[in-house]
Chains A and B, each alone.
Chain A
């Protein structure tokens, strides 16, 4: 029989009792039995509820809540079983298990369940309820002019991130320089990022830029623009949305870039200065290349956020005029909220998720290749 005593550098001192490194066979068997029995019980609850949900059997609970309780109990039994069968290794697994089970419950299961929903015709107003409809939702999506229009708009919104990046870099350089009230400006420039986009929509889009009484419209009239309607023509409306979005988001890029700038070694820039490099040469040949890793991270994070743009659009233009400002997320929102189209709305969301994953993965690969060449 293997020794259950533990060697310790603190041998001789009073120690807390520890679980044996290896469990006894009886304990291991009991653990296996516990895991097996709880898994069977949990599986039976799920199966019974699924069969009842499908109308195959009468037995079961009124809703899925008991299944959730069964999942929690199974998780506890699984944890106990692992400790009993694996000893100290089981204890280590206990640290991971809650997070794992939680992720399964709120990320993995909903994603796969969402996939199932995406292949159903499920309109909340339909008397027939949810019905599997194969690839119909994908076919509808392929022909859906509103989706492709929104996706086309996303190209412009994503390209606008580059402009945001340029402005944010300039601001970061400014805040990194020795200027007066630098701390104040750092906080002040961060304020828009702290505001909710919904608040920005109302304060800026529906108040400051309001045609009749908005200060921006009044100013525009003063400088000679007779009809400062910021949201009445497609390109102007899109640009106005981009401007509001930029106002909220630039501080996010700026703060990342500022952190990167502060981490740069001063010696390199000073050496360049001694060698007679102009400020532009210093920036372009030294600062910019050294900042590339931070820049790529900031831009990619912003693009991911940008692809989910919805709140400002929903509040200010509702996607108009004529779909010019619509985003995929605001379109999905309409499918769900206004049309109760759960099946098709979920297909849109899952399809868009795949597009985002492919796009961002490709972007990362390109960025890596480009950075290797540049640095």
Chain B
């Protein structure tokens, strides 16, 4: 199991345990866990409503691709730890990471 911690918009923390063989993005996991996250475009890095802030473990994630960078660039308050959760595939390297759901922008 891959264990990650999610901090919601109110600061509430919860641990999620995700099976290693699940082929989903972090956005899909967050939606399944009923977090208040929009994902307007359905997960193709075109709306940035699935934005998360990586609080721990940024170094474990692959660099954002071109499309994700395009979107992150347009956000006024994004920084190096901001990522689009629809572009983050769940994998073993995420174990122990902490993600915060970004404030609605």
A associates with B: no
Interface, chain B (partner A; CB < 8 A): none
Interface, chain A (partner B; CB < 8 A): none
